[in-house]
Structure 1
Amino acid sequence: MTKGVATYIASDPHPGVPRLDVDPFSEAFLADPYSHHENLRAAGPVFWLEPYRIYGSARHAEVSAALKDYETFCSARGVGLADFAREEPWRSKSLLLEADPPLHTRTRGMMNKVVTLAALMKELPLWQEKADQLVDELLQRRSFDAVTDLAEVYPMRVFPDLIGLPPEGRDNLVPYGTATFNAFGPRNALFEETMRDAKDAMLWVASSCKRENLADEAWGAKVYRTAEAEDCSPAEAELLVRSFLTAGLDTTINGIAHLMLALASHPDQWRKLQANPSVLVKNAFEESLRWDSTVQTFFRTTTREVEFGGAVIPKDAKIILFLGAANRDPRRWNDPESFDVERQAAGHVGFGFGIHQCLGQMIARREAEAVLKALVSRVADIRITGATSRRLNNTLHALSHLPVEITALP
C-alpha cells in the first residue's frame, strides 16, 4: 500500500452502503469540488470510496454529528487519511487537532487561557489601523491581485506579531501551512512537491516555536508561561505554539480571498453590505465560509462499531467528512449554491464543529472583519478583471490569483 493511504486492507462495507469510484484527491476533484458534491450527497448519508477503501459522509446532519461525537469518531488517530495506530505521523502529533479527551481537555483549556476575547480586543485597534492602511494603498493602485496583494499581505502584517515570531523568515509560514494541510491527504504528487518545497520552512518553524525565539509579551511566550503554571512540559508548550501556525494563517488567507471572490462576483450583495455594514459585516464573512469552505475535508477513525446514517460502520474504520459539501447541503440550507450576506449562516462547519473547532477561528473572524470594514468605508465597487486560478491542496480550497479593480467612494 502507498504510504499515507492505509497500511491494512479494510473489510468490504455492509452490502447496503453505496460504493463510489470517486477520488476526492484527484486534480479534477480538488480544482472544482462543488461539481462533485451533489453526487456524494445523493449517494446517501454514508458511502464507501473504493479508491481508498474508506467511508465517507457529505450531508450536513451526519458531518456535524460525527464532528461532535469525539468518543466514537476520534481525532487522536489522525484527522487525515493516515491512521496513526498503524503508521508513524510525518511530524509530532498536534496536541489539539490530533488529540481527544482527556489530553485535549487539558491542552485546549490551557490555550483558552491565552486565546481570550479580552486579549484579542486589545489588538483590534491596531489591526483596524493596518487594514485601513492596506486598503488605502490598494486604492492608490486600483488594480491588484486580491490574493497576493490583500489576502496574503494583511494576515502577515498582524498575525506573526501576535504570536511573537522572529521578524526574519516569516515568508516560511505559508509554505509550512500548505505542506501541513497537504499531509492530511494521501502521499500523492501534491504532498511530495510541497514537502520538498517546505524543508527550510519546517526547520524555521521548529526553531521559531522555541521559547527563546519568541517575543516575551506575545501570545507564543504566554503559552509557555501558562504551560509552566499548568505543569506542562516545554516540549508540549512548543507543540502548542506550533498549533497556532497551522490554525491561524492559511485558513485566514483563504477565507479573506474567498470573501473577496464572493463580493466581487455578487455586486448586488456588495451593495446590500454597503447599505447596512453594522449588521452585515459579520454575516458576510460567515456566509463566505459556508459558500466556499477553506477546509474541505477532515477525517475521523471509529473507536467502536456504530450505526451511523442508516449504515453500520465497523470499529477502526476511517471516514472522510466533506465539510464543503455539508455547507451547501440543501437539506440544511435554502438555495445553498447562492451567496447571500443576509443569510443566517450559523451552523456551518467551515471551522469544524464540537470540541475540535479551529483554535484560530476567533483570530480569522476579527482579521476578516477588519479588512471588510476598511473596504466598506472606502470602496465603491469591486470588479474581477481577469481569470481566477486555484492552488490545489489535499485539504484546502485555495485561490492563487484573483485580479480585481476597486474604485474609491466619492
Structure 2
Amino acid sequence: MTVPASSIDLFGDAVLADPWPAYRNLRDSGSAVWLEQTGVWFIGRFADVRRALNDWQVFSSAQGIGFNPVINTAWTEALICQDPPIHTERRKLMMEALSPAALKPVADNISRRADALADRIAERGHFDGVADFAHDLPIGVVMDLIGWPEAVRPALLELASGSWNAAGPANARMQTGLGGLQDMMGLLAGIYDEGRVQPGGFAEKLIAASRDGKITRDTAIGMLAGYVVAAFETTISAMAAGIYLFAQNPAEWDKLRADSGLAMVAANEIVRMETPLQNFARVTTQDAELSDGSVVPAGARVCVSYASANRDERQFSQPDLFDITRREKQNLGFGHGPHGCAGQGLARMELAAVFTALSRRISRIELTDPAERALNNISRSFSRLPARAIPG
C-alpha cells in the first residue's frame, strides 16, 4: 500500500505550542506517515507505538533516539541509546536505586516534603506552578537520592532545563540545547573525576561500579547525565501540568478531594494528557509492517510518538478529556517495554503525594494569568504558570 506523506512540521513553534491537532491529523492519515519537513516516518497510533517500544529487535535504539547525527554520536553511551543485552545489564545498576525496595525508605521523606509544600502554597495563596511548586520534590528528593553535592545542584537544574532540545532536528533550539548539554557533560565529568558526590547515593555506587571495571568512565557519566535530564525536567513538567489540568478541570479536583485514593490514577492521567516526553526516534532493522498494513522500510529513522498514542481515539474514549477516574489506565507516558522509564515508580509516588497533600488544604486552584509554554523539540513543559490556591 502507498504510505501517506505530510508537510506538517512537528518541530515548528505552532505545533510545539499545540501539538494535538497535528497528531490527530497524522494518526488519521495512517499507521505510518512520511514527514517531509523532518525526513522521518511518524508512528502515532497507540497499537503501533506500543509494538515499536516492545519490539527492540526491529525498532532499535542503538543508533540513537535523537533526530540529528550530532546528538546520536554524543549519546552513544547513554542508556536510552542501547539495546539488550547491553541495555539490560546497565539498567540493572540503575534499578538498584529505583526498585520498590530501594524507594521504600524514601516514601516518608516524600510525604513530609509534600505536606510542607502544600502548607506553603496554602499560606501564600498566589504562586508559580513551576518555580514555587513543581521544582520542590524533584529537586529535593531526587538530588538527595542520587547524591549530588549541594554546591552543584543549582547548576545541574539550570543545565537540565531545555536539554532535550538537543535531540531534535537541526534547528535553532537544537543548537542551543547542544551547548547546554556540553556544559552539563563537562560538569558531570568533573564530579566523576573528583568523586564529589554524597555518600550512599546512586551516583557513588555508579562511580564505584565504573572504577571496579564493571562499566567504563564514559558509560558512568552517560548514565549520570540520564538521571539529570530525565529525573528533573520530566517530573517537573508533570508536576506543573497537574496544576494546569486541575485548574482547568475543577470537577476533577473535587473528585480528588472527595477520594484521595484516586491520586495514583490522577498521576497517570496527568502524564497521559501532557506526556512530558513527546517523541523519540528509533531505526528499523528490517521492513516493519504496521497495524494498517503499511510497511516502514529497513534502515528508516522513525518518530515514535508517545504523546500521539496517549491521545489516540482507537485506545481511549474521549482522549482529550482529563478524567482521573478513567478506566483505561494504561498509557505510554512513561514509555513501555525495555526502555520503560526506570524512575516511573518514583515519579508516580511524588505526583500522588503532592496532589494528595494539596487536596487536603486547597478547595480550588485557579490560573491568574495565561500559562507560558517552554517550547522544546522533545519535551512538553511550562516556563511559567501563575496560579492561586484557595484554602478550604
**TM-score range relative to shorter protein:** over 0.9
Match of 2:275 among 293, 303, 306: 293
Superposed CA offset, 1:305-361 (max 9, x none) = 222231222211011012111101010001111000101343211011110011221
The answer to whether the aligner puts 1:72 opposite 2:55 as a matched pair is no
Structure 2 counterpart of 1:45: 31
Q: Which has the higher helix share?
A: 2
Structure 2 counterpart of 1:54: 40
SS at match of 2:298: coil
Structure 2 CA distance for aligned equivalents of residues 329 and 89 of structure 1: 29
Match of 1:32 among 18, 36, 41: 18
The answer to whether the aligner puts 1:306 opposite 2:288 as a matched pair is yes
Given the superposition, is the C-alpha separation of residues 103 and 95 from structure 1 closer, same or farther in structure 2, using an over 3 Å criterion?
A: farther
Identity of aligned residues (%): 32
Give the C-alpha shift of residue 366 in structure 1: 1.5
SS at match of 1:48: strand
Structure 2 CA distance for aligned equivalents of residues 150 and 344 of structure 1: 28
TM-score w.r.t. length of structure 1: 0.90
| 1:61-210 paired onto structure 2 within 5 Å | 61-83=47-69, 89=72, 91-197=74-180, 200-210=183-193
Structure 1 counterpart of 2:206: 223
Structure 1 counterpart of 2:334: 351
Given the superposition, is the C-alpha separation of residues 199 and 77 from structure 1 closer, same or farther in structure 2, using an over 3 Å criterion?
A: closer
Aligned 8 A contact 2:125 2:389 in 1: yes
SS at match of 1:169: helix
Structure 1 CA distance for aligned equivalents of residues 71 and 111 of structure 2: 43
Aligned 8 A contact 1:286 1:345 in 2: no
Give the C-alpha shift of residue 58 in structure 1: 1.1
The answer to whether the aligner puts 1:366 opposite 2:349 as a matched pair is yes
Structure 2 CA distance for aligned equivalents of residues 151 and 322 of structure 1: 25
Aligned 8 A contact 2:75 2:81 in 1: no
Structure 2 CA distance for aligned equivalents of residues 347 and 227 of structure 1: 36
Structure 2 counterpart of 1:335: 318
Structure 1 CA distance for aligned equivalents of residues 213 and 255 of structure 2: 48
SS at match of 2:253: helix
Superposed CA offset, 1:129-157 (max 9, x none) = 11211221222210011111111233212
TM-score w.r.t. length of structure 2: 0.94
Given the superposition, is the C-alpha separation of residues 375 and 168 from structure 1 closer, same or farther in structure 2, using an over 3 Å criterion?
A: same
SS at match of 2:167: coil
Superposed CA offset, 1:24-67 (max 9, x none) = 00111111101212111110111111112221111111111111
Structure 2 counterpart of 1:19: 5
Given the superposition, is the C-alpha separation of residues 92 and 158 from structure 1 closer, same or farther in structure 2, using an over 3 Å criterion?
A: same
Given the superposition, is the C-alpha separation of residues 312 and 195 from structure 1 closer, same or farther in structure 2, using an over 3 Å criterion?
A: closer
Give the C-alpha shift of residue 250 in structure 1: 0.6
Mind listing any 5+ residue stretches in structure 2 that lack a counterpart? none
Aligned 8 A contact 1:79 1:298 in 2: yes
Given the superposition, is the C-alpha separation of residues 317 and 70 from structure 1 closer, same or farther in structure 2, using an over 3 Å criterion?
A: same
Match of 1:384 among 356, 360, 367: 367
Given the superposition, is the C-alpha separation of residues 405 and 182 from structure 1 closer, same or farther in structure 2, using an over 3 Å criterion?
A: same
Which of 392-401 and 154-163 deviates more?
154-163
Structure 1 CA distance for aligned equivalents of residues 246 and 256 of structure 2: 9
CA RMSD, 1 decimal: 1.9
Give the C-alpha shift of residue 203 in structure 1: 2.6
Give the C-alpha shift of residue 367 in structure 1: 1.5
| 1:256-267 paired onto structure 2 within 5 Å | 256-267=239-250
Structure 1 CA distance for aligned equivalents of residues 6 and 47 of structure 2: 20
AA at the equivalent of 1:64? R
Give the C-alpha shift of residue 111 in structure 1: 2.0
AA at the equivalent of 1:350? G
Aligned 8 A contact 2:110 2:137 in 1: no
Given the superposition, is the C-alpha separation of residues 382 and 58 from structure 1 closer, same or farther in structure 2, using an over 3 Å criterion?
A: same
Which of 106-115 and 60-69 deviates more?
106-115
Count of residue pairs the alignment pairs up: 391
Which of 224-233 and 370-379 deviates more?
224-233
Structure 2 counterpart of 1:268: 251
Structure 2 counterpart of 1:4: none
Structure 1 CA distance for aligned equivalents of residues 165 and 56 of structure 2: 23
Give the C-alpha shift of residue 239 in structure 1: 2.5
| 1:389-404 paired onto structure 2 within 5 Å | 389-404=372-387
Structure 2 CA distance for aligned equivalents of residues 95 and 200 of structure 1: 16
Mind listing any 5+ residue stretches in structure 1 that lack a counterpart? 1-14
Aligned 8 A contact 2:185 2:221 in 1: no
Aligned 8 A contact 1:95 1:103 in 2: no
Given the superposition, is the C-alpha separation of residues 155 and 231 from structure 1 closer, same or farther in structure 2, using an over 3 Å criterion?
A: closer
